[in-house]
Chains A and B, each alone.
Chain A
Amino acid sequence: MTEPKDFIAGIGSDIKKSQKRVLFVTRRTSAQVRVFDEERVQTYPEALFRAALAIELLTIALVLISLFFNAPLEGLADPTNTPNPAKAPWYFLGLQEMLHYFPPVVAGVLIPMVLVVALVVIPYFNVNIEADGLFLKNRHRRLNIFYAGAIGLSLFLWFFHVYVALIPTLVIAAIMLVAAFSSPTSSQPLRRYLAAKPVSWWVMTWFLLELIVLTVVGTFFRGPGWSWVLPWRS
């Protein structure tokens, strides 16, 4: 039914030498030994020179940018004169956008803490290691959880008027719906691809989309009083 997975879950038993990866696959009768052997090259010079070249190209790009674009510098800091809007650095503008809808303790403390903890625990759950397609096992139960989660989250965001975060949520939910009714043996490559995606992939992709949308909105589309502005009409 399912396509062969892209990896085999398990710990490489030969990390010390790492010339060969040995994996034991127990069958009903006897253990099989599979050996992967592959070409290895010297770190010096092969890898180090490539790394150096990559860093040099990056440096050239950054030098060119620095020659043509000046870093912003505004007037002397003045505690009595609050600019409107006062914006955090761009990578925090997603959180500042949340600050617009939720109390600071939620947007500024709870959400970032949940994010960090969620990122840290990813590799410690077997469901993320095995990474089976979300709707392939326990289909009925998982569909119900998905419906409840997606509708619950959407209603929550709608209730607090967080339309900026609601739209990416709906987009991901719609794609997940396509995945739920796709089979890994489908004739369409996209549906095969989506059907094989595990739960962590969906959550992370949702997070990535939210991160991009919220940061772009906060950086370019928010003006005085955190109202909507168009960046090209200033």
Chain B
Amino acid sequence: MAGKIDDYIAKLERTRVWRSVFRSGTGSSTLHRALAIQQNVFLHLFSTKVRRRMLGFKATWYLGTLTLGTFLILVITGILLMLYYRPAVPQAYADVKDLQFVVSSGLFLRNLHRWAAHTMVLLAFAHLFRVFYRGAYRPPREFNWVIGIVLLMVTLLLSYTGYLLPWDQLAYWAITVGSNISATVPVIGEKVRFLMLGGHQVNANALLRFYVLHCVILPLAAVLFIAVHFWRIRKDGGLYVRQSEPIREPAKEDESAVLEKV
């Protein structure tokens, strides 16, 4: 049965339609694997080869990868939450209540979104400090460090704008505290707060603005900067390596295999 399915898939992969979509073809040769990265619009952000010693947990603690992971979880759960949520007063609060008590798995969905959001902020900070303590901000990676700071800001703003959406006491007063601070910026403070809230205090306009920021503008900004962030890793010569980290010699058997072929 399994063999039949494999045959069928293999046949499918040889068809003209399939090959028009996936040009690299399939196979486990080095060329095919390189093409799998190179000829994919998303994966070509990465280099086709990476240093083996950078794959260990010790080098990066996978903090950047995990931050991306939380972002993916947030996009998926966020889209599902949008199906049940209206950014209006007082419907917003009622919708969140419904998510808690009426919608199937709504409570789980909201929990996952909330805890993933907190985790993302935590991981972004951890990633920042990890990169700093490795010294990985050094040239030619300076600008990628700056993009990282931008991404941290976007992450904080995403979390902050999402904080208002349940429209409960916790949300309302947290955002009130924050927006009052922005009003203290000299000269333009009041204007900035008015722009941010669509009024002089947190109200239905503010909820709508935060919703648009949270669900459209900031995620788009995040995706854009994440793409640049990844692409710069390749352009800047891969992940930063410390000279003191041991280089593993290429396995001897590989060499002999090559020699035999020759």
* Cα distance, A116 to B177, chains bound together (Å): 21
Give B43's nearest chain A residue, CB to CB.
A44
A7-B135, A43-B47, A44-B43 given; A15·B169 CB < 8 A: no
Q: Top 3 closest A-B pairs, CB basis?
A: A108-B181, A55-B69, A77-B172
Q: Is the CB of A103 within 8 A of B184?
A: yes
Closest B residue to A205 by CB, please name it: B133
Q: How far is the CB of A131 from chain B (nearest CB, A)?
A: 6
Contact A109 B181 (CB under 8 A): yes
Chain B residues within 8 Å of A11, by CB: 139-140
Can you report 27 A-B residue pairs in the complex whose CB atoms are below 8 A from each other?
A6-B135, A6-B243, A18-B238, A39-B52, A39-B250, A40-B51, A41-B49, A43-B43, A43-B47, A44-B33, A47-B50, A59-B73, A65-B111, A65-B115, A66-B115, A71-B110, A71-B115, A73-B96, A76-B169, A77-B89, A86-B176, A86-B177, A109-B184, A120-B145, A123-B137, A123-B141, A131-B135
Please state if B237 and A71 are interface contacts (CB–CB under 8 Å). Answer: no
How many A residues touch the partner, as a band? 35 or more
A76 lies within 8 A of B90 (CB): yes
Q: Quick check: which of A87-95, A141-149, A163-171, A174-182 contacts chain B, the rest being far away?
A: A87-95
Could you tell me the distance in whole angstroms from the C-beta of B159 to the nearest C-beta in chain A? 6
- A42 partner residues in chain B, CB cutoff 8 A: 30, 33-34, 37, 48-49
Q: Is the CB of A92 within 8 A of B142?
A: no
From A18, A89, A108, B160 is in contact (CB under 8 Å) with A89
The smallest beta-carbon distance between A21 and chain B, in angstroms, is 8
Distance (whole angstroms) from the CB of B112 to the closest CB of chain A: 4
Chain A residues with a Cβ under 8 A of chain B:
6-12, 14-15, 18, 21, 36-48, 50-51, 54-55, 58-59, 62-63, 65-67, 69-79, 81-83, 86-92, 95-96, 99, 103-105, 107-109, 116, 119-120, 122-124, 128-129, 131, 200-201, 204, 208, 211
**6 more A-B residue pairs beyond the given contacts A43-B50, A54-B69, with a C-beta to C-beta distance below 8 A:** A7-B244, A41-B49, A73-B96, A73-B166, A79-B202, A103-B184
B22 interfacial by beta-carbon distance below 8 Å: no
Smallest Cβ-Cβ distance to A67: which chain B residue: B108
Interface segment out of the listed B1-9, B60-68, B218-226:
B60-68
Q: Which residues of A contact B111 (CB under 8 A)?
A: 65-67, 69-71
Give the Cβ gap from A223 to chain B, nearest Cβ, in Å.
15
By the criterion CB–CB under 8 Å, are A78 and B172 in contact?
yes
